[in-house]
Structure formats: C-alpha cells, structure tokens
C-alpha cells in the first residue's frame, strides 16, 4: 500500500510505501468501522423485529413488553 505525500512548499507529490505500523493501524480502523456498522445493523434489525412483534400483539390484544413499547412509541 502507498500514500501520497505532498510538499506544500514545492507542490511536489510523491508516493511512499506505508510502514507495517501504518498498515496495521489502517486495518484496525477498518475492523473497528465494520464492527460499528454491524452493531448498527443488528440494532436496527432488533428494533424492526420489536416493532413488528408489537404491532402483531396490539392487533391480537396481547400485552407488549418494554422493548416492543419503545420500538412502537419511542422512549
């Protein structure tokens, strides 16, 4: 992997290979970002499931749990 280095005084642009530490840091950031995306997707899936379950229970006249109430009506 390479990165672009620009000398602001001369405007010269050069491509420099990343060090092992830079590569490791970049990969760690990518893993952390993917975990955040996965966590957000899981939370949305849970919210959608609670919303659907709550609607079905309301239609059937059953009692709702706290998660379903929150999904339907907010906190």
Going by C-beta distance under 8 Å and a sequence separation of 6 or more, which residues neighbour residue 48? 71
**What pTM was computed for the model?**
0.69
Alpha-helical runs (H) found in the chain? 20-60, 66-73
> If you count them, how many residues does the chain have?
75
Q: What is the pLDDT of residue 23?
A: 96
In tens digits, the chain (75 residues) has pLDDT values of 999 999 999 999 999 999 999 999 999 999 999 999 999 999 999 999 999 999 999 999 999 999 999 999 987
Q: What is the pLDDT of residue 37?
A: 98
């Amino acid at each position: 992997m390479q990165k672009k280095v620009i000398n602001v005084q001369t405007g010269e642009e050069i491509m420099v290979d990343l060090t092992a530490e830079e590569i490791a840091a970049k990969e760690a950031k990518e893993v952390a970002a993917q975990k955040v995306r996965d966590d957000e997707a899981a939370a949305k899936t849970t919210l959608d499931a609670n919303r659907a379950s709550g609607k079905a229970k309301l239609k059937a006249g059953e009692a709702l749990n706290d998660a379903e109430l929150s999904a339907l009506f907010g906190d």
